[in-house]
Structure 1
Amino acid sequence: MPPKKVFAGARLRALRVQHKLTQSELAARLDISASYVNQLESNQRPLTASVMLALAETFNLDLTSLASDASDRLVIDLREALADPVFGEAAPNLQELKSVAGNAPDMARSVLALYEAYRKTNERLASMDAALSRDPQSGVTTAYEEVRDFFHYADNYIDPLDRAAEALAGELGEFGSERLRRLIDYCAEIHNIKVVLSPPASGERLVEFDRANRTLWINSHLEPSSQFFRIAASLGGLEQATLFDSLLDGASFKAPEARAIARMGLANYFAGALHMPYGAFLKAADAYRFDIEELGRVFGASLEQVAHRLSTMQRPRERGVPFFFARVDAAGTITKRHSATALQFARFGGACPLWNVHRAFEAHGQIIRQLAETPDGKSYLCLAWSHEKRMGGFRGTTRRYAYALGCEISHAGRLVYADDLDLGKAMFEPIGISCRICERRNCPQRSVPPLAAGISVPADRRSVVPYEIG
Structure 2
Amino acid sequence: MANQKLYAGVKLRETRTRLGLTQKEFAAKLGVSLPYLNQMENNNRPVSTGVVLALAQEFGFDVTELSVGDAERMVTDMREALADPVFAEATPPLADLRLAASNAPALARAFIDLHRAYRQTHERLASLDEALGREDGRVQPSPWEEVRDFFHYCDNYIDAVDRAAEHFSCPDGQSKDAMTLAIEALQAEGVSVENSNNGELRGYDADTRILRISSRADLATQRFQLLHQVALLTQSKLLDATLDFARFQSNEARAIARIGLANYFAGAALLPYRPFLEAAQSTRHDLERLADQFGASIEQVAHRLSTLQRPGAKGVPFFFVRVDQAGTITKRHSATRLQFARFGGACPLWNVHRAFETPGRFLRQLAETPDGVRYFCLARDVSKQGGAWGAPVRRFAIGLGCEVRHADQLVYADDLDVARKAAFEPIGISCRICERKSCHQRSVPPLERRLNVNPNHRGVLPYEIAE
1:239 aligns with 2:218: no
Distance, in Å, in 2 between the alignment partners of 1:330 and 1:139 is 32
1:440 aligns with 2:436: yes
Secondary structure at the counterpart of residue 12 of structure 1: helix
1:428 aligns with 2:427: no
Task: Give the one of 190, 194, 197 matched to 2:195.
Answer: 197
Task: Give the one of 429, 454, 461 matched to 1:458.
Answer: 454
Unaligned 5+ segments in structure 1 are none
Task: Give the one of 308, 317, 322 matched to 2:312.
Answer: 317
The TM-score normalised by the length of structure 1 is 0.90
2:186 is matched with which residue?
187
Secondary structure at the counterpart of residue 447 of structure 1: coil
The TM-score normalised by the length of structure 2 is 0.90
Contact 1:337–1:345 (CA under 8 A) maintained in structure 2: yes
Distance, in Å, in 1 between the alignment partners of 2:172 and 2:324 is 35
1:220 is matched with which residue?
215
Amino acid of the structure 2 residue aligned with 1:463: G
Amino acid of the structure 2 residue aligned with 1:334: I
The CA deviation string for residues 154-189 of structure 1, in whole angstroms up to 9 with x for no partner, is: 11111121111111111388768x64234212321x
Indicate the larger mover: 330-339 or 346-355: 346-355
Secondary structure at the counterpart of residue 170 of structure 2: helix
1:384 aligns with 2:384: no
Secondary structure at the counterpart of residue 150 of structure 1: helix
Secondary structure at the counterpart of residue 308 of structure 1: helix
1:469 aligns with 2:429: no
Distance, in Å, in 2 between the alignment partners of 1:236 and 1:54 is 40
Q: How does 1:64-463 map to 2 (within 5 A)?
A: 64-68=64-68, 70-125=70-125, 127=126, 140-171=140-171, 179-188=178-187, 190-200=188-198, 204-425=199-420, 426-463=422-459
Distance, in Å, in 2 between the alignment partners of 1:128 and 1:191 is 46
Indicate the larger mover: 11-20 or 249-258: 11-20
Distance, in Å, in 2 between the alignment partners of 1:215 and 1:173 is 31
Amino acid of the structure 1 residue aligned with 2:459: S
Amino acid of the structure 2 residue aligned with 1:406: G
Indicate the larger mover: 313-322 or 61-70: 61-70
Amino acid of the structure 2 residue aligned with 1:445: Q
Indicate the larger mover: 74-83 or 38-47: 38-47
Amino acid of the structure 2 residue aligned with 1:427: A
Distance, in Å, in 2 between the alignment partners of 1:199 and 1:19 is 54
Secondary structure at the counterpart of residue 320 of structure 2: strand
Distance, in Å, in 2 between the alignment partners of 1:462 and 1:55 is 56
Secondary structure at the counterpart of residue 433 of structure 1: coil
- CA root-mean-square deviation: 2.8
Contact 1:43–1:103 (CA under 8 A) maintained in structure 2: yes
Indicate the larger mover: 22-31 or 276-285: 22-31
Secondary structure at the counterpart of residue 124 of structure 2: helix
Contact 1:143–1:257 (CA under 8 A) maintained in structure 2: yes
Contact 2:434–2:446 (CA under 8 A) maintained in structure 1: yes
Distance verdict in 2 for CA 1:334–1:68, change over 3 Å: closer
Contact 2:231–2:266 (CA under 8 A) maintained in structure 1: yes
Using the TM superposition, give the Cα deviation of residue 102 of structure 1 relative to its aligned residue in structure 2, in angstroms.
0.9
Contact 2:328–2:345 (CA under 8 A) maintained in structure 1: yes
Distance, in Å, in 1 between the alignment partners of 2:55 and 2:119 is 41
Amino acid of the structure 2 residue aligned with 1:339: S
Distance, in Å, in 2 between the alignment partners of 1:59 and 1:157 is 22
Unaligned 5+ segments in structure 2 are none
Indicate the percent of aligned positions where both proteins have the same amino acid.
53
Distance, in Å, in 2 between the alignment partners of 1:363 and 1:223 is 22
Contact 2:131–2:137 (CA under 8 A) maintained in structure 1: no
Using the TM superposition, give the Cα deviation of residue 4 of structure 1 relative to its aligned residue in structure 2, in angstroms.
5.4
Secondary structure at the counterpart of residue 436 of structure 1: helix
Distance verdict in 2 for CA 1:395–1:239, change over 3 Å: same
Amino acid of the structure 2 residue aligned with 1:11: K
